[in-house]
A and B are shown apart, each in its own frame.
Chain A
Amino acid sequence: MSLKNCHNFQDFRSLAKRKLPSPIFHYIDGAADDEITYNRNTSAFNDVDLVPNVLRGVESVDLSTTIFGKKLDLPFYCSPTALQRLFHYDGERAVGKAAQKFNTMFGVSALATVSVEEISSLIDTPKMFQFYFHKDRGLNDSCLERAKAAKFDVMALTVDTITGGNRERDLRTGFTSPPKLTLASLFSFATKPMWGINYLTKGKFELPHLQDYVEEGTSTNTSIGNYFSTMLDQTMNWNDAEKLCSQWGGHFALKGIMSVEDAKRAVDIGCTGIMVSNHGGRQLDGSRSPFDQLAEIVDAVGDKLDVICEGGFQRGTHMLKALSLGAKACAGGRLYLYALAAAGQAGVERALGQYKSELERDMKLMGCTKISDLSRKNLRFR
Chain B
Amino acid sequence: MNLNDCLNFNDFRKLAKKKLPAPIFHYIDGGSDDERTLNRNTEAFDDCDLVPKILANVGKPDLSTTVFGRKISMPIFLSPAAMQRLYHPEGDKASARAAEKFNTFYSMSTMSNNSIEQIANLSSGPKLFQLYIHKDQSITDDLIDRCKRANFDGLCLTVDTIVAGNRERDHRTGFTTPPKLTLKSLFSFAIKPKWVFDYLTNEKFELSNVKNKTDKGTNITKSVIEYINEQYDPGMNWSDAEYVVKRWDKPFAIKGVMSVEDAKRAVDIGCTAIMISNHGGRQLDGSRSPFDQIKLISDAVGDKVDIILDGGVRRGTHVLKAIAAGAKACSFGKAFLFSLSAGGQKGVEKLLQNMHDEIQRNMILMGCKNLKDLNYSRLIFRR
A residues adjacent to B (C-beta < 8 A)? 5, 7-8, 45-46, 49-59, 315, 317-318, 320-321, 358, 360-362, 364-366, 377, 380, 382
Contact = CB atoms under 8 A, between A and B. Distances in A.
A55 B287 contact: no
A382 B292 contact: yes
A380 B287 contact: no
B254 A321 contact: no
B303 interface: no
B168 A7 contact: yes
B124 to A, nearest CB: 33
Contacts of B259: 51-54, 377
Interface stretch (B115-123, B235-243, B340-348): B235-243
B286 A320 contact: yes
B115 to A, nearest CB: 28
Nearest to B168: A7
Contacts, number: 100
Interface residues of B, number: 40
A318 B284 CA distance: 12
Given A51-B258, A52-B287, A317-B33, A361 B237 contact: no
B289 interface: yes
B241 A45 contact: no
A55 B236 CA distance: 6
B293 interface: yes
B165 interface: yes
A55 B159 contact: yes
B324 to A, nearest CB: 20
A57 B33 contact: no
A361 B265 CA distance: 24
Contacts of B235: 57-59
A52 B286 contact: no
Given A49-B287, A380-B288, A54 B159 contact: yes
A321 B236 CA distance: 24
Contact of B286 (A56, A59, A317): A317
Contacts of B226: none
Given A315-B34, A361-B163, A364-B234, A51 B288 contact: yes
Given A49-B289, A52-B284, A365 B262 contact: no
B303 to A, nearest CB: 22
Q: Which of A46, A49, A364 has the most CB of B within 10 A?
A: A49
10 contacts: A51-B258, A52-B259, A53-B262, A54-B262, A56-B237, A58-B234, A317-B33, A360-B163, A361-B165, A380-B293
B27 to A, nearest CB: 16
A57 B159 CA distance: 11
Q: Which of A7, A51, A380 has the most CB of B within 10 A?
A: A51
A366 B284 contact: yes
B285 A54 contact: no
B134 interface: no
B36 interface: yes
B262 A50 contact: no
Contact of A45 (B166, B257, B286, B289): B286
Given A57-B237, A315-B33, A49 B285 contact: no
B172 interface: yes
Interface string B31-45: 001101100100000
Given A50-B288, A366-B284, A377-B261, 9 more contacts: A49-B292, A54-B160, A57-B235, A58-B162, A317-B285, A321-B286, A361-B165, A362-B284, A380-B293
B283 A365 contact: yes
Contact of A361 (B166, B240, B292): B166
B333 interface: no
B154 interface: no
B256 interface: yes
